[in-house]
Chain A
Amino acid sequence: MSLFLRSSLIFFIFTNIFLSQTDLLNEIDFDQDIEVSSVFKSLKVVNFESTKLISSGEFAFSVSHRFGSIKYGFENFFGLDDAITRLNFIYGLNEYSNLSISRSSYNKTFDVALKARLIAQNNEFPFTLVLYSSLTIDSSLDDEIYPKMSFNNRLGYFTQFIISRKLNKNLSAIVSPSYFHENLVVLTNQNNSQYGVIFGGRYKISKRASFNIDYGYHFNRSSDSIFKNPLGIGLDIETGGHVFQLLFSNSQSMNAINLMSSSTGDWTEGDVFFGFNLYRTF
């Protein structure tokens, strides 16, 4: 047998072994219809809810602070003297819904919220759709100042659809049409029922950090209102079990309804608040 024949035979046997193994792998190979993951890493974009939920049976604890306005400079140590704190407990009822209870020192507000994912972005469907609905109770209103007040006046309702899309590996965006109703409004010209839309997104600047922004546009704010639309700009930093969000916002409140209805700060005047959100899952 010539050398050529022999070597080609050896080559043939080898490729055959190789091919048979590859064939074997091909036999079990398939493509999965995979849900798009990590559209957002944290439950909030900056101030407003993202489409992220925690998993079934998981428990998460979130601490958020908004310090005082930085515009007073050293006088209040750039706001660090006057912190507002919100503690939020979140529980994963199942793979599709979270229940949360929070207390914020802004207006001594309690809040109960349900967040439910209706559909998740995957290979075939381009968006994630989440319903978020919360009930807030303002416990700061004093009966002595408002003698005719009933418990009902303390309540506020906020409902929104959060639509998110992960556009590419680094960029995700949300649009959230929102409706909210305050049983008690400060200004007489302000309609109790209010409408808004929230735009937001994250852009990953490294594997573990992203630049985040969200903005809430109010459709029917009364013309004499001193309140502003809320704009938050932040940086997400991820570690193993935590996400830290460092941010600047023109709102000191952290509940969606207060953010939309009564943000007082003004970016153009440097009247903004430094703050952070951090959460840990258990």
Chain B
Amino acid sequence: MGSISLYSQQKYYTKSGYVTFDSRIDSFVPIKAANNSLSAVFDTNNGDIAALAFIKDFNFKNSLMQEHFNESYAESDLYPKTTFSGNLLNYKSKISGVYLINGIFNFHGVKKELDKIPFVVEFFDDYIKITGEFALNISDFNIKVPKIVKSKIPSKMYVYVDMNLISN
């Protein structure tokens, strides 16, 4: 219990992680957006990880689409943040490799448990690189899609994360 604070210097941080979501469906207006200001913290002591991004920081190519996304789908005025907190399974301190992560993903006010998502964790001299990808079902997040555009809205979104964390 005290060990957590004892090893607090073992935490690595970033405020400029890269996260994207993409429907991976070719269409005239592809649904994808990128965010360059993902905040994250990783505890090298026990493999705990947490990340946070602001919905409004997701940039779409088409700014009107970005407005629609914020106002009508993600409702970012009500739910400004999306977060993840989890733990690397079978974590071995400072050993690079593919780890499975269990955790809670929070978006649009809905908490969704994610199970055994593979992430690549690489330890370098002065930073840790974490990359990975997972798919989300849009229907899990209580997002109302009007019938008229239902055919245009994909059922799955692929979230890709790439971040370099440094020790503070």
The reply to whether B149 and A240 form a contact with Cβ atoms under 8 Å apart is yes
Question: From residue A44, how far is it (CB to closest CB) to chain B in Å?
Answer: 15
Q: Compute how far the CA of A169 lies from the CA of B80 in the bound complex, rounded to whole angstroms.
A: 14
Question: From residue A226, how far is it (CB to closest CB) to chain B in Å?
Answer: 40
The reply to whether B64 and A17 form a contact with Cβ atoms under 8 Å apart is no
The reply to whether A22 and B70 form a contact with Cβ atoms under 8 Å apart is no
Q: Compute how far the CA of A54 lies from the CA of B13 in the bound complex, rounded to whole angstroms.
A: 35
Number of A interface residues at 8 Å Cβ cutoff, please give it. 31
- Binary contact readout B32-49 vs A (1 if CB under 8 angstroms, 0 otherwise): 000000011101001011
In the complex, the number of residue pairs spanning A and B with C-beta atoms less than 8 Å apart equals: 86
Evaluate whether A25 and B56 lie within 8 angstroms (CB atoms) in the complex, with A208-B72, A240-B68 already known: no
The reply to whether B67 and A41 form a contact with Cβ atoms under 8 Å apart is yes
* Chain B, interface residues (CB within 8 Å), range: 35 or more
The reply to whether A28 and B50 form a contact with Cβ atoms under 8 Å apart is yes
Q: B71 interface residue, CB < 8 Å from A? A: yes
The reply to whether A28 and B48 form a contact with Cβ atoms under 8 Å apart is no
Within 8 A of B (CB), among A90-133: none
The reply to whether A208 and B146 form a contact with Cβ atoms under 8 Å apart is yes
Task: Please name the residue on chain A nearest to B37 by beta carbon.
Answer: A32
Q: Which residues of A contact B76 (CB under 8 A)?
A: 37
Residues of B at the A interface (CB closer than 8 Å) are 1, 4, 11, 13, 15, 29, 39-41, 43, 46, 48-52, 54, 56, 62-65, 67-68, 70-72, 76-77, 80-81, 83, 85-87, 103, 144, 146, 149, 152
Residues of A at the B interface (CB closer than 8 Å) are 16-17, 20-25, 27-32, 34, 37-38, 41, 54-55, 58, 169, 207-208, 238-243, 281
Which 5 A-B residue pairings sit nearest by Cβ, starting from the closest?
A24-B50, A25-B50, A55-B63, A28-B39, A21-B85
List 8 other contacts, CB 8 Å, given A37-B70, A241-B29: A20-B46, A21-B48, A25-B52, A28-B50, A29-B81, A30-B39, A240-B29, A240-B62
| Cβ contacts A to B, 18 pairs, < 8 Å | A20-B4, A21-B86, A21-B87, A24-B48, A25-B50, A25-B52, A25-B83, A28-B50, A29-B81, A32-B54, A37-B67, A37-B70, A38-B67, A207-B71, A208-B72, A238-B72, A241-B65, A281-B63
